Structure 1
């Protein structure tokens, strides 16, 4: 069983039965205790469940997933966000994806002569009262835990719009350079964002190599520039080079 399949199976068990001990997961899935413990760390980091003493529990309404994720890798995310804002020139239209790294970009765009198109509700909250930024909020179904909009209405709105730059988030970057997500509903929206932009800049801190997720968004030929805090391992770097992706380390 591949790592992604294992972790998906763990999440399914925990969501179906509620809190589960490591021993229960070992018995249900036929995996070693060490593997289960490592996977629980990864899944907790990805905001897919909560790791507790001796096991894991599903997320509930008391969990502020976005705030929790925003605190993780805070330093690298801040540096990546600042560098990403510099990729946007005055007078341009920029698409801002969801996610806590992209969400940090908004404050670096305050007061600038730019058009911001987004489905990121954290970005909307940051820029809603800015008198200089032209702000366009895409429609769609609200995902409160991720402070985002998603779905058919979001995709339809994107088909009517054009951006100079897309700042794209991701749950993980595979060694092949493929971007993945943990939520299949994100696939259509992210692909529509890519199609709507002239240039795609991927924002991914070191934890996103390989990150988590089984829903494939795009391959490395779909983005042009990658901003990260650490260089990816050689196989991933070679895939990026073949696709012509430039790498910026912060």
Structure 2
């Protein structure tokens, strides 16, 4: 395995599982402990992980606090959320991803006789005192900065579920339709959500074309419905239509 690829694999494992000892790192990468130590030293000097006694833990990439993201581009998010809420029928079981657009959607679900499943702590806080929707909060490791839960416990819970609709968030959509996230540790949860839903609805404001992100969640073929603004990039939107996704522009 090339050194650069090995480093990316190491960081991905650390982000998903937390602190790992050197012996386990060497086993996962199929290298000697000496090579694992050199990799840890290189990544530590580059500021991408923190050495701890006997091992290492990955540093999370820079991420804006949830409160800052929540008020950004609010009119566009609200328009997308309103169209998404119109898809939900009484009795539905819906899965709400992390993010601020899904929070705006949750604010439109008060009084609805539905079941809401989420890893989004902001959605939970929004709906927790409303007795109309049934509320299911997934377990896992809490990411306080972005008010979400992640990790193998979250993924395991999702494997036991099948919902009517997933409302999926994203940090960016590339011109070829690849759906991205900025944070590696969220991607396994999002992929487990894709497998746990009959229909996948992508919520993406115009600013998300192309937006940001380096971690691939899925491609346009995995999306059943795209809800976005009228100002979104026409070529990218056309690509979703060619992939047989229904496109709803607001």
- Determine if the TM-score, normalized by the shorter chain, exceeds 0.5: yes
Cα displacement (A) at 1:16: 4.2
Number of the residue aligned with 1:185 = 185
Q: Deviations over 1:66-123 (max 9, x none)?
A: 1101111011111111111111110010000000011111111111110000010011
Assess if the C-alpha contact under 8 Å between 1:205 and 1:230 holds in 2.
no
Cα displacement (A) at 1:205: 0.5
CA distance in 1, matches of 2:234, 2:69: 27
CA distance in 1, matches of 2:233, 2:126: 35
CA distance in 2, matches of 1:231, 1:156: 38
Number of the residue aligned with 2:141 = 141
> Unaligned 5+ residue runs, structure 2?
1-42, 49-60
TM-score between both structures, scaled by the size of structure 2 = 0.74
Cα displacement (A) at 1:232: 3.2
CA distance in 1, matches of 2:80, 2:236: 19
The alignment yields a C-alpha RMSD, in angstroms, of 1.8
> Unaligned 5+ residue runs, structure 1?
1-11, 18-47, 50-58
Matched residue of 2:236: which SS?
Answer: helix
Assess if the C-alpha contact under 8 Å between 1:106 and 1:127 holds in 2.
yes
Number of the residue aligned with 2:236 = 236
CA distance in 2, matches of 1:234, 1:123: 31
Number of the residue aligned with 1:107 = 107
Number of the residue aligned with 1:212 = 212
Assess if the C-alpha contact under 8 Å between 2:170 and 2:181 holds in 1.
yes
Number of the residue aligned with 2:90 = 90
Residues paired across the two proteins, number? 194
Bigger Rg over Cα: 2
Number of the residue aligned with 1:69 = 69
Assess if the C-alpha contact under 8 Å between 2:205 and 2:232 holds in 1.
no
CA distance in 1, matches of 2:81, 2:183: 23
